[in-house]
Amino acid sequence: MNPSDSSQYTWAGRFSEPMSDLVKRYTASVNFDRRMWRQDIRASVAHATMLARQEIISAGDLADIERGMAQVGREIENGSFVWSLDLEDVHLNIEKRLTALVGDAGKRLHTGRSRNDQVATDIRLYLRDAIDELLPLLRQFQTSLLNLAEKEAATPLPGFTHLQVAQPVTFGHHLLAYFEMMQRDAERFSDCRRRTNRLPLGAAALAGTTYPIDRHFVAELLGFDGVCENSLDAVSDRDFAIEFCAACAMLMMHLSRLSEELVLWMNPRFGFIRIADRFCTGSSIMPQKKNPDVPELARGKTGRVYGHLTALLTLMKGQPLAYNKDNQEDKEPLFDAIDTVSDTLCIFAEMIAGITVNPEKMRDALAEGFATATDLADFLTRKGLPFRDAHATVGLAVRRAEELGVDLAQLPLAELQSFSPLLDEEVFAVLTIDGSLAARAHIGGTAPEQVLAAISRARRG
């Protein structure tokens, strides 16, 4: 093959026969990596700007490249750009079209770089942009949680351990637990962004380049916080993608926990909430059904995101330095994790905002399971009985109430005093649901006033 035959492949001069169609399909990534076209153009223009500044290419070449890239961007935006499987990926497709538009200037663009550091740069730019778009979605979901929590700050709800009635909490307090989880998720994404925001460009294939490039200038143009210090690591590192997928997996785990509760609460045996019809589906055979498909599907999609994290960890575990073709497989898991998390956050923000609460059902559920038993033990402890003795005493009272089929608050005072003479009329105020809630009036507690204070802090933060 002579150089004029190698137009389809930048590396074709080394080979004596063309690539087979099967290998083309197997190795091509353009069908999924073309979503990075904006980042590829931005990085290429920054690279060209640096090359011109360093007098590696001429000012005229830079002007042609800028003009050509602007045209390429317009064509992709309006759908007239022709993507070619023969050109393998987003990078070669754009470079080929650029060269067709501006000639030799397009051929000079790749001076001092490799596709290895080019793709590493593009994917970091893409992920950085994705995190910047994802964080506001997370905040919108948190706002929905805060709004509903504020509305239901004093609504009693059974708090469960082991899925058994444990103690009264408020529905607002319960929702704020998920707000806290989301807050940690936001911190993880922000931390991941910092480690993502390092420039690999300039590492070239693996060893750097012989041209007098200025990597810090390119980093400044592209908004990176700094450069990757080692050229081998720069082109082969995918820690940032793994870390992002780990943060996505944690976020989806939190949403899956919430989904499980929404499904339970919507069940008529609970009846605590109603999810708006627009987030539910019916049955093809049972006309009465209203199924909570959105939270159910979120539970399922959580496993999908877990799979992407496992795929990336497995992808990287056996790779020697530096770049290997294996790394082409990093994009589809990463892209799908971004899409899945973003879509789930969007729909959950709307779904939570549309939830209707049934406070009567919640309060009725608190009448089952002796939710104020710990309050009774605390009352005895304040009267001077050691807590372990108080615990045993209340256990006997619970057993008696269970035999009679009544709640602790329904036991007559004389019956209660048979378990401890320390019990008096004051105990009935302690055994109420509202009294139990109000008593937990410390930071982090479930008292309505503390729930409102927590919401106020969250809104300020």
Domain boundaries, the chain: 25-111, 116-150+169-197+237-363, 368-460
Tens digit of each residue's pLDDT (9 = 90 or more) over 406-460: 999 999 999 999 999 999 999 999 999 999 999 999 999 999 999 999 999 999 9
> Does 17 score more than 90 pLDDT?
no
Topology given in CATH for the domain delimited by 116-150+169-197+237-363? Fumarase C; Chain A, domain 2 (1.20.200)
Please identify which residue in the block is written with the tokens 């615990």: 391
What does the alpha-carbon distance between residue 297 and residue 279 come to, in Å, rounded to a whole number? 11
How far is C-alpha 251 from the geometric centre of its chain's CA atoms? 4
Tell me: pLDDT of 120 over 80. yes
Cα separations (Å) of 41 from 38, 97, 429? 5, 12, 69
Looking at residue 67, its amino acid is R
pLDDT, tens digit (0-9, with 9 covering 90-100), for 238-277:
999 999 999 999 999 999 999 999 999 999 999 999 999 9
Are 272 and 365 in contact by the 8 Å Cβ rule? The answer is: yes
Pick the CATH number of 25-111 from 3.40.190.10, 2.102.10.10, 1.10.275.10, 3.10.105.10: 1.10.275.10
Tokens of 247: 């943060």
283 is a catalytic site residue: yes
d(Cα 12, Cα 21) in Å, to the nearest integer? 15
Q: How far is CA 41 from the centre of its chain?
A: 27
d(CA 426, CA 424) in angstroms, rounded, equals: 5
pLDDT of residue 454: 98
Element at 165 (helix H, strand E): strand 164-170
> How much is the pLDDT for 12?
64
CA 386 – CA 397 distance, rounded (Å): 17
Query: For residue range 152-185, what is the model confidence (pLDDT) as tens digits?
Result: 999 999 999 999 999 999 999 999 999 999 999 9
Q: What pLDDT was estimated at residue 9?
A: 59
Q: Which of 20, 162, 284, 442 is catalytic?
A: 162
80 catalytic per annotation: no
Candidate list 58, 84, 283, 456, residue with the active-site label: 283
Flag whether pLDDT at 215 surpasses 60.
Answer: yes
What is the C-alpha separation between 409 and 31, in angstroms, rounded? 67
Q: What is the DSSP letter of 166?
A: E
Segment among 243-252, 283-292, 345-354 with least mean pLDDT: 283-292
Separation CA 214–CA 202 (nearest Å): 8
259: Cα within 13 Å, side-chain hemisphere = 24
Overall CATH class of domain 368-460: mainly alpha
